[in-house]
Amino acid sequence: MSNGPLEIKAISGHAGPVPGRDTSRDYDVCKLVDVTTCIGCKACEVACLEWNGYPFRETVFDNTYQTMPDLAWNYYNLIRFNEHTASDGTFSWLMRKDQCMHCADPGCLRACPADGAIVQYANGIVDFQQENCIGCQYCVTGCPFNIPKFNPETKKVHKCTLCSDRVGVGLEPACIKACPTGCLHFGSKDDMKDLAGRRAQQLREHTAHTNAGVYDPPGVGGTHVIYVLHDISNPEAYGGLPANPRVPWTVKLWKGPLKWLGNLAMFGGLLGVTLHYLRFGPKQVKEDHAEGKS
């Protein structure tokens, strides 16, 4: 998923400066999902599959309109359908387009130990580079939204690219293009925040959704996919959208303050091995034992 035209801001597990930094000036991009105008038509699901060239899969009936229970390594975009009864008895059928949130502070990138497997472009897109992925799945642990999915056959992890290959050449993501109601918008983060804010205000002032708001969680530094929700106080109702997502403390600790400990342990181990070699020499293998085993 390498992209020439986009400027890279950060690279997972990479020592030294970021190549190409300060050469391109892409603005922060953002996808706005106005959940209040989503009709669950799944055009975005199909567009995503078709653009990414993934085959259609066999699914099974699961007592829901939702295509399948969760995202998959080759299914980046899923509308989550939830029947919800509010505390006042109001019934609603919530449909939320679920995909990578493209966090400004991406837990996946922080957790990833492989050089160049995850990059964050200057425009905010967090992209997996499968050719560098070592299949350790630390990114899965690092993601507070449960997005990256592992392909057991290739041992690589995949997720929504925010169509970096389209955005890089000036196109909107495939899902945006397919959306029939205009529930999906794409533009600069500032513009989308403004649009989302005004829409939420309109909902609060002119509809029964007096608690409408914009989901752009600060715990991950804000996201490059933001939602307008009917009820901002209860994102969990929309199919498990976390109320206050954060990069897991274990990842933060391990990749942050404790990183020197790891390095120390690694270098300590190496030192020990070297000392052991110097002191005792190479390991002697007993011939008879080896034969007896075979």
Partner 1 sequence: MTNGWIDIKNTDMMLIMGGNPAENHPCGFKWPIEAKRNRNAKMIVVDPRFTRTAATADLFVQLRTGTDIAFLGGLIRYVMENNRIAKDYLVQYTNAAFIVRKGFKLPEDGLYSGFDAATHTYDKATWNYEEGGDLKGKPDTPGDGAPSANPPALPADVAYDLTLEHPRTVFQLLRKHFSRYTPEMVERITGVPKDQFLKAADLFTSIRKDGDTKKVGTIIYAVGWTQHSSGTQTIRTAAMLQLLLGNVGRAGGGVNALRGHSNIQGATDMAGVFDLLPGYLKVPTMADVDLKTYLTRITPKAAKPGPWNSFNYWSNTPKFAVSLLKALYGEHARKENDWAFHYLPKIDRRYSWAEIWDDMYRGHVKGLLAFGMNGVAIGPNSSKNIDALKKADWLVVCEIYPDETSEFWKSPGITTDEMKQIQTTVYRLPGAGFAEKDGTFVNSARWLQWKNAALPPPGLARLDQEILARIFLKVRELYQKEGGKFPDPVLHATWNYTDPHNPSLAEIAKEINGRALADVTDPKLNQTIKAGQQLPGFAWLRDDGSTSSGNWIFCGSWTEAGAQIQRRGTEDPSGLGIYPNWAWSWPANRRVLYNRASCDLSGKPWDPDRAQVWWNEAQQKWVGNDVPDFKPDSPPKDHMGPFIMNPEGIGRLFVPLAGMADGPFPEHYEPTESPIDNPLHPQQTHNPLAKRFSTPLDKFGSPAEGYNIICTTYRLTEHYHYWTKNNPMNVQLVPEPFVEIPAELADEMGLRGGEKIKVTSARGHYLAKAMVTRRIKSMIVDGKKTYQIGIPIHWGYRGIAEDAGKTGLTTANQLSPAVTDPNAYTPEFKGFLVKIERA
Distance CA 174, CA 47 (A): 6
Binding partner 1 by CB under 8 A: which of 180, 221, 268, 269?
180
Torsions phi, psi of 43, nearest 5?
Answer: -60, -35
- Cβ-based nearer residue to partner 1, 39 or 264: 39
Two structure tokens written together for 182: 């205009």
Within 49-68, which residues bind partner 1 (CB under 8 A)? Answer: 49, 56-65, 67
Per rule CB under 8 A, count of chain residues that contact partner 1: 38
Q: How far is CA 128 from CA 6, 188, 244, in A?
A: 14, 22, 24
Q: What distance separates the 2 farthest-apart alpha carbons in the chain? A: 87
Name the residue nearer to partner 1 (CB basis): 39 or 271: 39
Q: Which is nearer to partner 1, 11 or 35 (CB)?
A: 35
Residue 155, sorted as left (phi over 0), alpha (psi -120 to 50) or beta, turns out to be left
Output the smallest distance, CB 29 to partner 1, in A. 22
* Locus of tokens 């899923």: 78
Q: How far is the CB of 182 from partner 1 (least distance, A)?
A: 6
73 φ, ψ to 5°?
A: -60, -25
Site membership for partner 1, residue 175 (CB under 8 A): no
Among 94, 125, 157, 225, interactor with partner 1 by CB under 8 A: 94
Shortest Cβ 160–partner 1 spacing (Å): 18
Quote the least distance from Cβ 82 to partner 1, whole Å.
10
Residue whose CB is less far from partner 1, 34 or 165: 34
Nearer to partner 1, 67 or 137 (CB): 67
User: Per-residue x/- marks for partner 1, 20-49, CB under 8 A?
Assistant: ----------------xxxxxxxx-xx--x
Beta-carbon count within 10 A of 135 CB? 15
Please identify, using beta-carbon distances, which residue of 8 and 43 lies nearer to partner 1.
43
Distance CA 94, CA 33 (A): 13
Of 5, 19, 21, 85, which lies in the binding site for partner 1, with binding defined by CB under 8 A? 85
- Least gap, CB of 60 to partner 1 (angstroms): 6
Write out the binding residues for partner 1, residues 187-226 only, by CB under 8 A: 199, 202, 206-208
- Output 73 or 116, the one with its CB closest to partner 1: 73
User: Within 10 Å of residue 218's Cβ, how many Cβ atoms?
Assistant: 12
Cβ 65 to partner 1 shortest distance, Å: 7
Q: Which residues, in sequence order, are CB contacts of 77 under 8 Å at separation 6+?
A: 44, 45, 48, 71, 97, 98, 99, 160, 175
Q: How far is CA 142 from CA 126, 182, 252, in A?
A: 13, 32, 9
Q: Token pair for residue 199?
A: 């829409």
Q: Looking at 49-117, which runs of residues are DSSP E strands? A: 78-85, 91-98
Q: Where are the beta strands (DSSP E) in 138-256?
A: 149-151, 156-158, 184-188, 213-215, 225-229
Distance CA 23, CA 263 (A): 32
Q: Looking at beta carbons only, is 104 or 237 nearer to partner 1?
A: 237
Residues that bind partner 1 (CB under 8 A): 36-43, 45-46, 49, 56-65, 67, 83, 85, 91-95, 180-183, 199, 202, 206-208
